[in-house]
Structure 1
Amino acid sequence: MHLGRLIICTIFLSFSAFSQDDEYLNQVQQLDWKGAVDSYELPSSDAKITISENEYLVLGKDAHKFMLLTEGHDGFKPDAVKLKIHTDESESTAIYQRYDIGFVKTDDWEENIDSDEMLAEIIQGTEETNKIRAEGHAKLYIDGWAQTPFLDKENLIIYWAINGHTSENTQFINAKALKLGRKGYTEVIWAGSPEQFTNAEAVLEPVLASYTYNEGFQYDDFMPETDTVAAMGAGALVYKLATGKAAVKAGFLAAAAIFAKKFWFIIFLPFVYGWKWIKRKFSGKSE
């Protein structure tokens, strides 16, 4: 699976703008939501996702359609979207997308990360995405880093987080993780409110814990004799994802061989006001 087909860490438009739109709500409700506590194999992926109580999941084409409905553009094609209802009945959302670009080495991290340049490009990219949002969808604006990019070398996960607001003055956080594996990485993006956010590791830890590579596809399962190595390392990869530009040492041809996306860092909002109908759906209760 290539980079245009499986992402983690940008996400959702406010459901409040559509709360009175019966047709929109009907389309969301008709998706194949999973609500039973269980593990679910991902389509075309050597991994699975586990959901707990008060978590709800859509996979494959349904996940893609959900993102198209909520965001108003076709920039997201995730493998899975997970909605979590918290004890205070607030919501947060995570999307999962895997990219089989080859085994990603981590030895180029320090030489490629420029957080100031990355932020400027994320702001510009978000403004460009606003131009293609369907009518009625709130526009998104970036306020700054909630957490600058860093690499957890022990667990082989890359994190960062952005804070922003909408044209309706709703504040939000997008936290992103890249979970490295034998064949590439999985991008996981969490979206929630500033009140729900402490740091990227804290909010993404349960989201990442519910996603596991199958046996034989972990990062440590890499076989140098037979496996493909990615054309760029972790630092150049993050630089490219945020800016849309190839890091100098990665080279133009290496970047061109891996990437084919128009929008590199797309922001989304958490799915809100969905808990009443979705909890009703799986509890069998009516209001």
Structure 2
Amino acid sequence: MTKFFTTLAVLCIVLSNSVFAQKEKESTEVLDSSFVKILTILQELKYEPAGKTIELGGMGKLTVPKGFKYLNSTQSKQVLEDIWGNPPNEAPLGMLFQENGSPVDSVNTWAFIIRYDPIGYVKDEDADDVDYKELLEQMQKEVEEANTERSKLGYGTVSLVGWASTPFYDKERKTLHWAKNLKFSGEETNTLNYDVRVLGRKGMFSLNAVGDLTALSQIKPKINDMIASVSFSDGNRYQDYDSNLDQVAAVGIGGLVAGKVLAKVGFFALLAKFWKVIVGAIIVGGGAIRKFFGKKKDDTETDTDTNVSPSEPDNTETQAS
């Protein structure tokens, strides 16, 4: 079975699970409608290739790093909310997927989400003084305390197991990166949350990737390239700070690390369940695949592209808003 068929099969089981409690007729209607919507989004995704320069909200630029492809702001929001199931939120500046990956890939499900946070000028005077072991213990305690409220609201609990990659601050490049190892109740596989921050005069670029903990071996070697791909424009760089004009952030380096422990983890908690029932997905999805692609048999049989869409990406220049 080609990767394209596997992707479609997974979508079928995901969508069928989401309407499992409804009547059979209603379930079928919702499944068909949701399936068409997601499939349409996947087919229309247009990526920018490695080497392409992307404007990032007027604050800087991104040069798509080797081995990656860029998805613009509008389509990234569709992926996050309509495909990955995150709650509605402000659109990111874009996303970076592995060159051979896709939003519903069984192997390359992770991607870097790019945002700009106008947090202010982050002073890094505390960088050498942060005790990350002590900070981790504090964060673990806060996460456990929050589980009480999560349980009351009907959500599963989560534990911060430890650092998947110890926080590291580069004074020269004014960049910070670290990774958390998270364990969700009921999940056999731990979740990786990898954070990168590129500091500027009035805020920072935030790049966040979430995936199975095993993705660490894929992500960590690419961090330096990821950092090098993002830069602030003249007047917005860290060294352009003016103490008479600019606002200072309320947190330092330690505060950035201790921030949102559970940022962007929702979609992976959902995706993690898909692969446990892949065989069932193939069976359940067969009918839907034939229904939507029966008239394009030649296309589906010959498609070997690693993208979800059988059509080639349109490389028309796209800028992030």
Under TM normalisation by the shorter chain, which class is it?
0.5 to 0.7
Give the CA deviation at 1:59.
2.4
Cα distance in 2 for residues equivalent to 1:199 and 1:29: 24
CA contact under 8 A between 1:19 and 1:25: conserved in structure 2? Answer: no
CA contact under 8 A between 1:101 and 1:183: conserved in structure 2? Answer: yes
Label 1:203 to 1:71 Cα distance change in 2 as closer, same or farther (>3 A): farther
Deviations 1:61-115 (A, max 9, x none): 322222112033236742211111459x942310111111221101134368611
Deviations 1:20-74 (A, max 9, x none): 55335325315553233411112x3412222256533222232222211203323
- Residue 64 of structure 2 is aligned to residue 51 of structure 1: yes
Give the CA deviation at 1:146.
0.8
Residues 248-267 of structure 1: matches in 2 within 5 Å? 265-267=263-265
Cα distance in 2 for residues equivalent to 1:49 and 1:267: 24
Aligned-residue CA RMSD (Å): 4.1
Cα distance in 2 for residues equivalent to 1:201 and 1:210: 15
The equivalent position to 1:178 in structure 2, one of 197, 206, 229, is 197
- Residue 245 of structure 2 is aligned to residue 226 of structure 1: yes
Residue in 2 that maps onto 1:152: 170
- Residue 129 of structure 2 is aligned to residue 119 of structure 1: no
Task: Point out the more displaced range, 192-201 or 107-116.
Answer: 192-201
Give the CA deviation at 1:194.
3.6
Deviations 1:173-219 (A, max 9, x none): 22111111111111111234444424976342222222222233221
Cα distance in 2 for residues equivalent to 1:265 and 1:126: 15
Label 1:214 to 1:132 Cα distance change in 2 as closer, same or farther (>3 A): farther
Cα distance in 1 for residues equivalent to 2:175 and 2:154: 31
> Which AA in structure 1 matches 2:195?
K
Residues 58-207 of structure 1: matches in 2 within 5 Å? 58-69=71-82, 70-74=84-88, 77-85=91-99, 90-91=107-108, 92-109=110-127, 110=129, 114-122=135-143, 142-164=160-182, 167=186, 169-198=188-217, 202-207=221-226
Give the number of the structure whose alpha-carbon radius of gyration is greater: 2
What TM-score, normalized to structure 2? 0.60
**Alignment identity in percent?**
20
Task: Point out the more displaced range, 205-214 or 188-197.
Answer: 188-197
Label 1:115 to 1:168 Cα distance change in 2 as closer, same or farther (>3 A): closer
Label 1:192 to 1:15 Cα distance change in 2 as closer, same or farther (>3 A): farther
Cα distance in 2 for residues equivalent to 1:139 and 1:67: 22
- Residue 38 of structure 2 is aligned to residue 25 of structure 1: yes
Residue in 1 that maps onto 2:47: 34
SS of 2:307's equivalent in the other structure is helix
CA contact under 8 A between 2:73 and 2:94: conserved in structure 1? Answer: yes
Label 1:227 to 1:200 Cα distance change in 2 as closer, same or farther (>3 A): farther
> Which AA in structure 2 matches 1:174?
N
